[in-house]
Chains A and B, each alone.
Chain A
Amino acid sequence: MTSAAMTPIQRGFSLAEYLTCLNGIVWREALRFLHQRERFISALVRPLVWLFIFAAGFRQVLGLSIIPPYETYILYEVYIAPGLMAMIQLFNGMQSSLSMVYDREMGNMRTLLVSPLPRWFLLSCKLLAGTAVSLLQVYAFLLIAWFWDIAAPPTGYLTVLPALVLSGLMLGALGMLISSGIKQLENFAGVMNFVIFPMFFASSALYPLWRILESSPMLYYVCLFNPFTHAVELIRFALYGQMNWIALAVVGGCTIAFMIGAILAYDPSRGLIRRGPAGGET
């Protein structure tokens, strides 16, 4: 057989087929999330512990000056709420990457990657699905926080949505990129220590950057270069109906960079994805 023989008709894919695929991946992700009730509960408990216990304890220790977007003095709980929203998305992004590693080990990932639709599209759908799940978690957290008298302006619950989508995409893409380099599920513990904790603590989630600058200029710059800091600030400003353009640029840029990296990593001809056969296979 010669290459000239390989010229059959190619019909491509319709918009309806793309949308059906997107719908299917989001639906599957939502089903898995709903089936794993403990995952939903733990996703809520984690930020609520920070809000109800940690913040209550530190309220008297940490003084806050009036900084944008706030126009008056605020409680510490109010300050850390956007950081906790971002934390939910950070954990969700890493959880998604964990599930991708699990799916790869269990074989489910092959079902996705053997789909005839373009791989960049499949990974984008997976990312959107993970972001949609994180939005559910964040709004559930906001609802509980509202009962705790930690409320944003009513319009803030709408204006924060695009910021949450963007930050969710960025953190999900980061998780996807990380998952491509993890060979075994056991290695994922390292992600907790080397990604989640440093990103969360070296950011403005728990304390304003000016306070960090007073303590350690070096740590201040670490925080400044941490994309998670900008995700937190984007959410914080959006929750009060304002725009932090620098944060928007950083989060947008990082989203694109992480996404391209993840797509390349899962490209069979170029990527970082494991090249050897799965256990037991040859």
Chain B
Amino acid sequence: MTATDAFSAGQSTQGFHPQSDAVATPALSIEGVSHAYGTRRALIDIAFSVAPASFTALLGLNGAGKSTLFSLVTRLFGIQHGRIGIFGHDVAQAPGEALRLLGVVFQPRTLDLDLSVTQNLLYHAALHGIGRRDARARSAEVLARIGLADRAGSKVRDLSGGQMRRLEIARALLHRPRLLLLDEATVGLDVKARADILNHVRQLVAEQGISVLWATHLFDEIGSNDDLVVLHQGRVLAQGKVARVIADAGGSDINTAFMRLTGSTAQSGSSTS
């Protein structure tokens, strides 16, 4: 059985997609993706998908391969094996069309600290071919939405860590993508900032129908109704609704289920880590 076959079988038996999306093109489809750095295999035959307008958590410890996967989806790395599609657009064959539908928040900060908040947004808009007038209007709109309208002219280096993250999310939404990837977006933030960002992203899913892939190693960021993909040492160990993953693993909660699946004594799954 190939990874893709297993993926398809997994979809039908585990009910990974909501029923309404059974025939819809996945927001993100990963099919049999493997990646190696020299002889070190970072991803091994990965296969899963993200349904439209869903919140999918990609759970894995540090070193699981989450960032490598994000680099492949965003085409920072070339795809060595397998196929990645964004709303049906093959990332390798039609990267422009695929990336146009994608918003990304990377694990490291990617803002230009020397530019102002608005200048960062205008630069991003230009990279997506959005004209200056439209870009200004969109910038004002997203800044108002994330509560940074009064900081529009401030240098980015003067913002707090939480504000920078919110700005990065706003920037990722500026070109109105349909799929949003967030790689450990709350790392280094205090409890309140983490909660604010997570709530904001969940609102985007509920109100705007944006599909989200949320990479994390923190169990408490995963909701009971979320879709979940467990990634460990470059392999997908489980996928499906959170309750189903817990039940299949024979755990009592996500923490014990994760430890059963990985056979580890995971310590990084708490918010205080």
Contact = CB atoms under 8 A, between A and B. Distances in A.
Interface of A: 1, 3, 5-8, 10-14, 16-18, 20-21, 23-25, 27-28, 31-32, 35-36, 106-108, 110-118, 122, 267-270, 275-278, 280-282
Contacts of A281: 67-68, 107-108, 183
A5 B88 contact: yes
A145 B99 CA distance: 48
Contacts of A115: 99, 127-128
B63 A8 contact: no
B141 interface: no
Given A8-B25, A282-B62, A277 B127 contact: no
A282 B64 contact: yes
Interface in B35-71: 37, 42, 49, 62-68, 71
B153 interface: no
Nearest to A275: B37
B96 A282 contact: no
A25 B109 CA distance: 19
Contacts of A282: 42, 62-68
Interface stretch (B115-123, B197-205, B218-226, B249-257): B115-123
Given A20-B131, A25-B126, A282-B62, A8 B97 contact: yes
Contacts of B65: 282
B110 A8 contact: no
Interface string B94-114: 111111101010111111111
B170 to A, nearest CB: 14
Given A115-B99, A268-B77, A277-B71, A31 B129 contact: no
Q: How many interface residues does chain B have, given as a range? A: 35 or more
B92 interface: yes
Contacts of B94: 10
B127 A117 contact: yes
Given A20-B132, A32-B112, 11 more contacts: A10-B97, A21-B128, A31-B114, A107-B108, A111-B124, A111-B127, A116-B96, A116-B99, A116-B129, A281-B67, A282-B65
Nearest to B90: A6
Nearest to B93: A6
A14 B71 CA distance: 27
A276 B36 CA distance: 9
Nearest to B72: A268
Contacts of B4: 1
Contacts of B124: 111
A85 to B, nearest CB: 28
25 contacts: A1-B8, A5-B88, A6-B90, A7-B88, A8-B89, A10-B96, A11-B97, A14-B129, A17-B129, A21-B127, A23-B126, A23-B132, A24-B127, A31-B119, A107-B110, A108-B111, A113-B75, A115-B99, A115-B128, A116-B128, A117-B127, A277-B42, A281-B68, A282-B63, A282-B67
B229 interface: no
A16 B87 CA distance: 25
A18 B88 CA distance: 24
Nearest to B80: A269
A12 B96 contact: yes
Nearest to B60: A282
A194 B132 CA distance: 42
A114 B89 contact: no
A66 B183 CA distance: 65
B127 A5 contact: no
A278 to B, nearest CB: 6
A122 B4 CA distance: 34
A16 B129 contact: yes
Contacts of B119: 28, 31
A282 to B, nearest CB: 4
A34 to B, nearest CB: 10
B24 to A, nearest CB: 11
B26 interface: yes
A6 B89 contact: yes
Contact of B129 (A3, A21, A36, A267): A21
Contact of B75 (A5, A7, A114): A114
B122 A24 contact: yes
A177 B89 CA distance: 30
B77 A13 contact: no
B144 to A, nearest CB: 22
Given A6-B85, A276-B37, A111 B110 contact: yes
Contacts of A6: 83, 85, 88-90, 93
Q: Which 10 A-B pairs have the closest CB atoms?
A: A24-B126, A17-B129, A269-B78, A281-B67, A115-B127, A107-B110, A116-B99, A268-B78, A107-B108, A116-B100
